[in-house]
A and B are shown apart, each in its own frame.
Chain A
Amino acid sequence: MSTVAEFKIEYKQILNSRGDVVAPLPAFTADAGEVLRMYQAMTRVRVFDAKAVNLQRTGQIGTYPSSLGHEATHVGVGAAMRPEDVLAPVYREFGTQLWRGVTMAEILLYWGGDERGNDFARPAHDFAWCVPIATQTLHAAGAAMAFKLRKEPRCALAYIGDGGTSEGAFYEALNLAGARALPVVFVIVNNGWAISVPVAAQTATRTLAQKAVAAGIPGVQVDGNDVFAVREVVGEALATARRGGGPCLIEALTYRLSDHTTADDASRYRGAQEVKEAWALEPLIRIREYLFKTGAWTEAQEHALLQDCTRQVDAAVIEYLSTAKQSTDAMFDTLFAELPQHLREQRATARKYGAKPSGH
């Protein structure tokens, strides 16, 4: 027997959990303002998230999937992408979407059960939230095919969860991307749990990054709680894809500090000790420590930031709550470019029996 193929999976960390720099700092960190922007975005999404959970508990939005603990991955990806790139999110990556211009009020509209939530104004070319599992990975590959055919220097980036890697669509997307050298980057947010099922029950592989091997594309692991490492690794993958170098699969290791959604109770299947240990590795502490150590940040600034984030979130909640109710026409308006006759009749029936239109 002779060896015909071998693989290795590399792991990247730049800031350890105490905020020590353990690898060469990427160039973007030389811009102190940019680093602060990333930290502020992470803090803002954390404050938003707590508020959104609260809105669900008080019946003002529906089921909500908290992004608690995912801030470094989400903001790192957002900061690595260019505005003209296309994001294919799952449903939890609010940090990336806020960075790219989706507003907090729009996020609340969607999770508040309003059809207009999926119609965020910016970035208009990004995909909507994707609740079915893993389907979005193929959309990203398709968008990347469009960029490739038109020779546009743009990339698509698809998120997927650790559980989602069990779906056939995920492997199909990797395979397609590899076979056609598409400008697409797949980011697996491995937060340890697919609702109640831990990664070890999902797959026998040592890493999820190595799922890339079968598709013939590079796979790499990154500390998903380290915003520097995430931005660096995703940025490099996007740069390679953009210059025609093909796709990449990135596994970001993080932890779901919350329940799966507000409809879930993780205490039924997950030990408290594990969660306690995960809190010590969470992403905000280390970047804050880094900023304190480098003298770029003070307690007073921290206090002011939290106040500012709370103000922004409160304003978004007011905007959300004061959005005029949609009429029953919203069930029909955008189903087709032009509504067929039988649906115009049904729209009339819905108007007759439904909530009275407002703002129409």
Chain B
Amino acid sequence: MAHGWEMQHDDRVVVIGQDVGANGGVFRATAGLQAQFGKDRVQDTPLAEATIAGMSVGMATHGLKPVAEIQFMGFMYPALDQIVNHMSRMRYRTRGRLTCPVVIRTPHGGGIHAPEHHSESTETMLCHIPGIRVVCPSSPARAYGLLLAAIRDPDPVIFLEPVRLYRAMRQEVSDDGQALPLDHCFILREGSDVTIVTWGAMTIETLRAHGELESQDISAEVIDLATLSPIDSETILASVAKTGRLVIVHEAARNVGVGAEIAAIVAEHGLYDLHAPIQRVTGFDTVMPLFRLEHDYIPSVQRIVDAVQLTLAD
């Protein structure tokens, strides 16, 4: 829907990717666009991720605004050379002479019984790249507003779409062209005892944990990070100053995860606000398993509740 609005209002916007045309994307995210805007503006690419990222650089530096789809996050790696060495630093290297207003959309995370390599959440690799934004919405409404913002942004944005939200959530979204701000967190629930920061599909378990905690008279503030890089430190620090406790929840592996960066920010700027050590509830530092075990990999509601209780002990 956000694609359609922006394509209608900005004729520089083109959609490219594998199976985005007649098929409308494997998750139907671009359904109907080719019929509406034609094969020039909605193009199936050859099956090659480096092609998709590299041609996006060429198109974006020459007057187009590509919105590219990488079919699954696990297939993004051939594109990384283009993203790291060119897309992210084109503005920097050319002192602003050439720029890359590109959006790369890709499905994120597991939980839908997909095959091997289809359930990755390796956002930390992307967040480490200077010069790109990494965004991950937590609902259809936020996906709409943040995707609009990403397309309108003058710099490259990687837009991670949690696959569980494609399936789990139905929500009326008004197609009004209203963008949401990038580089800002969203407070999903206000609370006073503990701050829980999360993003993407993990908002599902976190909000369930919030309900569970509420029934135990524990008031949790739930923050949807939304833009994973750069991080909106201000909102997180203000919340921790209020609650004195921080739990970070993400599906991705723990080691050098985005949670580590959030913990470091709070340690640097909010250590004296903390009443208890920071807790991280994350995926394990192993390969995302095939689907029989994926729900043992993805943090459960109970793990989140237990981590919160740990911050409240003594």
Task: Enumerate chain A interface residues (CB-CB to B < 8 A).
Answer: 62-63, 91, 110-115, 117, 129, 131-133, 163-164, 166-169, 194-197, 201-203, 261, 263-264, 268-269, 325-326, 328, 330-332, 335, 342-343, 346-347, 349-350, 353-355
Contact = CB atoms under 8 A, between A and B. Distances in A.
B309 to A, nearest CB: 14
Interface in B275-297: 284-287, 289-294, 296-297
B78 A268 contact: no
Contact of A202 (B22, B46, B255, B290): B46
Nearest to B254: A346
Contact of A113 (B21, B23, B113): B113
A29 to B, nearest CB: 36
B55 to A, nearest CB: 12
A328 B23 CA distance: 37
Contacts of A342: 255, 285
B290 A335 contact: no
Nearest to A135: B78
Contacts of B291: 62, 113
A343 B286 contact: yes
Contact of B287 (A113, A203, A335, A347): A335
Given A131-B117, A133-B75, A350-B284, A195 B23 contact: yes
Contact of A195 (B18, B75, B77): B18
25 contacts: A63-B115, A110-B116, A110-B290, A113-B290, A113-B294, A115-B289, A115-B290, A117-B290, A129-B116, A133-B75, A163-B46, A164-B47, A168-B50, A194-B18, A195-B18, A196-B22, A196-B23, A197-B19, A268-B22, A325-B292, A330-B289, A332-B284, A332-B286, A346-B284, A353-B300
B108 interface: no
A174 to B, nearest CB: 15
Interface string B19-32: 10111101000000
Nearest to A328: B296
Contacts of B285: 342-343, 346
B185 to A, nearest CB: 27
B15 to A, nearest CB: 14
Given A132-B75, A346-B285, A202 B47 contact: yes
Given A196-B21, A202-B46, A169 B78 contact: yes
Given A166-B48, A167-B47, A168-B48, A268 B23 contact: yes
A113 B286 contact: no
Given A131-B117, A202-B46, A331-B284, 10 more contacts: A63-B115, A133-B75, A163-B47, A167-B48, A168-B50, A168-B78, A195-B18, A268-B24, A347-B284, A355-B296
